Amino acid sequence: MIDAVAFNDAGLVPVIAQDALSKQVLMVAWMNREALQETVDSGQAVYYSRSRSRLWRKGEESGHVQHVKELRLDCDNDVILMQVEQVGGIACHTGRNHCFYKKLDSQGQWQDVEPVIKPSDEIYSKKDNNP
Amino acid sequence: MIDAVAFNDAGLVPVIAQDALSKQVLMVAWMNREALQETVDSGQAVYYSRSRSRLWRKGEESGHVQHVKELRLDCDNDVILMQVEQVGGIACHTGRNHCFYKKLDSQGQWQDVEPVIKPSDEIYSKKDNNP
């Protein structure tokens, strides 16, 4: 299963998380081999955080885990499409339902068009970097 | 509009093409600045082909052009989600409706689960590299 995936030079593959019911594209993140294997084994989305250089078990801080319903691979074996059930209805770290909240308007401007469901400082209040 | 996009070190941004009606994720490809500008100006999807190192006007050979209905940018400004109307109902070069036709089954195997609507040699018959 893993060997069929064409990871890039950094050992990563982009993964699209799509809401299994609404079909809204929620977010795009990356997996390495270990993250993909743990995702399949656990049934919950595990990504690789490029900024933190470690596995990122989606929802580990926010509680907004993703239950995986289906995994698909594209024709070039280098993109994964994942159907998920998004716990809490919030996929984006900004507190929105999904990450694609900037819409190009007719004036050529990106406009925020999705509401913040929960402010991020409430989502991540458990994480205190300034004790 | 263009300056807001966080292109990667190669000057590219990944773009998800989603069917505006069915919400099926059709494909993922890349755009550089020029491709994005032409996509916005023309209303038809223009990508950058990494294998051919040139602009790729989707449908230029197959006729399977994509009419763009909406463009969105994600929270990190590094992924674009594009709603399209897929002419011909075939987005994938393999002749399938979309590129994500390999589904992970319960045995851990990727299975082809989508039919070929039109064989690729019929789609690309106009392209004759061996005259």
* Residue A44 placed within a domain: yes
Q: How many CB atoms lie within 10 A of CB A131?
A: 3
* Residue A28 placed within a domain: yes
* Residue B55 placed within a domain: yes
Global ipTM: 0.93
Chain B residues inside the 8 Å CB shell of A109: 1
Q: With a cut of 70, list the residues of chain B below it in pLDDT.
A: 126-131
Rounded to a whole number, what is the distance in Å from the CA of A128 to chain B's nearest CA?
A: 23
Task: Tell which residue, A24, A23, A37, has the closest CA to residue A13.
Answer: A37
* Residue B51 placed within a domain: yes
Task: Tell which residue, B26, B36, B49, has the closest CA to residue B80.
Answer: B36
* Residue B97 placed within a domain: yes
Residues in chain A, how many?
A: 131
Cβ distance B72 to A16 less than 8 Å, yes or no, reads: no
pLDDT tens digits for A51-94?
999 999 999 999 999 999 999 999 999 999 999 999 999 999 99
- In terms of DSSP bridges, do strands A110-112 and B80-86 run parallel, antiparallel, or are they unpaired? unpaired
Q: What total of structural domains would you count in chain A? A: 1
Strand, coil or helix: B27: strand
pTM of the model: 0.94
Rounded to a whole number, what is the distance in Å from the CA of B120 to chain A's nearest CA?
A: 13
Concatenated DSSP letters for A49-105? ETTTTEEEETTTTTS--EEEEEEEE-TTS--EEEEEEEGGG--STTSSSSS--EEE-
Question: Looking at residues A14-36, what average pLDDT do you find?
Answer: 98
Q: Hey, of B36, B38, B81, which one would you mutate to test binding to chain A, going by the most A CBs within 10 A of its CB?
A: B81
Domain interval for residue A22:
13-89
Cβ distance B72 to A1 less than 8 Å, yes or no, reads: no
* Residue B8 placed within a domain: no
Rounded to a whole number, what is the distance in Å from the CA of B67 to chain A's nearest CA?
A: 15
| CATH code, domain with B62 | 3.10.20.810
* Residue B1 placed within a domain: no
* Residue A113 placed within a domain: no
Chain B residues inside the 8 Å CB shell of A100: 72-74, 79, 81
**Residue carrying structure tokens 């159907």:** A83
**What pLDDT score was predicted for residue A25?**
98
The whole-angstrom distance between residue A80's C-alpha and the CA centroid of its chain comes to 12
Residue A129's pLDDT band, with cuts at 50, 70 and 90, is: very low
